[in-house]
Structure 1
Amino acid sequence: MNSWHIRQAVRVLQSGGIIAYPTEAVWGLGCDPFNEEAVRRLLTIKRRPEFKGLILAAASRAQIAPLESPLNVQQREQLDATWPGPNTWLLPDPQGLVPVWVKGQHARVAVRVSAHPVVQALCESFGGPIISTSANPASAEPAKDKLKVRTYFGDDIDYLVPGRLGGLDRPTVIRDISSNITIRK
């Protein structure tokens, strides 16, 4: 991983652009979650309806600490046991800290504190979480290589961060922290 590429990607994120980057299992698309125009553009090129919501990827729990405030001790221990790592949790957002264009129709927000070195470097350099959604148009298979990302999106991606996928065969598990129900295996 080259720090120059991370700096370039962060510049793109800060200017409202969309990046493609390797994650634990598939290539992901990302942008600044608090930039409504960037998120809507990402949803458009992915052909994903807003109501479905998106995942936030973070480098550390400190980056998403305000979302942990409503959690009880047992729920925090669940996060301790699974983060950083390839686990996405649906966390409550009673204070409305995360914009509706990220959460979609949901009261909760999907969050992953990643152990993937590229994701961590991006979020650390950006200074907060970024959007993490699979690099594929709706209903197509997620991209497993850079060529597929370019085939799917061409010039709609503003920067492609080089790197390798992690060792997972499929996208991360998604579980609800309140009910412990698995939403996606």
Structure 2
Amino acid sequence: MLRDEVAKALKIVQDGGIILYPTDTIWGIGCDATNTDAIKRIYQLKQRDEAKSMIILLDTENRLESYIKEVPPIAYELIEFAENPLTLVMPGAKNISPAIINEDGSVAIRVARHDFCQQLIQRLRKPLVSTSANISGRPSPQNFNQVDPGIIDGVDYVVDLEQHNTELKKPSTIMRLQPDGRFEFIRR
């Protein structure tokens, strides 16, 4: 089942599509983080201002240096010891679509600790965009049952995993991390 869903989602994402999928936090809308057209479709679907950034997911912290010019050494420790899912906003984004890079050159990155996400990213060999599966300004869905029907209808594929899980999940903690190791919490 997991392998089949990864294969289906992979084909959609490789073909420039967008997916609705479970993560280690809340349900997300995603696409290839190097595909500007797909990223713009997500902004349109969410009715979100393109100045508001989205997160990219990696399968392992070993790939941080592929997408950040200068990874602060503390980033690896923060990821390793975080008790809850942690998103790090770091400057010096590279090798991803300009549509996902903040005006200040930073990008929000989370290392996914979810089997589906990890396997999809490994097979895609690129980061995956992840943004909450809601219309901008509305509450983030804490499980699949809370996802807006307009979001479900607007994606190219809905991953058939964990749809009946009613556990209430919450978004990741977000920290802004500077190259010198200074950090601040954006969302706890």
Q: TM-score under structure 1 normalisation?
A: 0.87
CA separation of 1:181 and 1:12: change in aligned 2, threshold 3 A = same
CA offsets, 1:82-119, max 9 Å, x none? 39x6100012216x433320023232110000111221
> Aligned residue for 2:90?
91
- Give the letter for the 1:157 counterpart: V
> Aligned residue for 1:181?
184
| Number of positions where the alignment pairs a residue of Structure 1 with one of Structure 2 | 183
Which runs of no fewer than 5 residues in structure 2 stay unpaired?
A: none
> Aligned residue for 1:29?
29
Task: Quote the offset at 1:77 in angstroms.
Answer: 2.9
- State how far apart, in whole Å, the 1-side matches of 2:18 and 2:91 are: 26
User: Superposition RMSD on alpha carbons, in Å?
Assistant: 2.4
Task: Quote the offset at 1:71 in angstroms.
Answer: 2.8
- State how far apart, in whole Å, the 1-side matches of 2:169 and 2:152 are: 25
Task: Quote the offset at 1:150 in angstroms.
Answer: 5.7
- Give the letter for the 1:58 counterpart: L
Task: Quote the offset at 1:19 in angstroms.
Answer: 0.2
> Aligned residue for 1:17?
17
**Range with greater deviation from structure 2 (115-124 or 61-70):** 61-70
Q: TM-score under structure 2 normalisation?
A: 0.85
Task: Quote the offset at 1:163 in angstroms.
Answer: 2.3
Task: Quote the offset at 1:183 in angstroms.
Answer: 0.6
- State how far apart, in whole Å, the 2-side matches of 1:18 and 1:48 are: 15
Structure with greater helix share of residues: 1
> Aligned residue for 1:61?
61
Q: Is the 8 A contact 1:52 1:105 kept in 2?
A: no
Identity of aligned residues (%): 27
Match of 1:114 among 103, 112, 115: 112
> Aligned residue for 2:99?
101
Q: Is the 8 A contact 2:2 2:116 kept in 1?
A: no
- Give the letter for the 2:29 counterpart: L
Q: Which structure has the higher relative contact order (CA within 8 Å, separation 6+)? A: 1
CA separation of 1:150 and 1:73: change in aligned 2, threshold 3 A = closer
- State how far apart, in whole Å, the 2-side matches of 1:102 and 1:111 are: 11
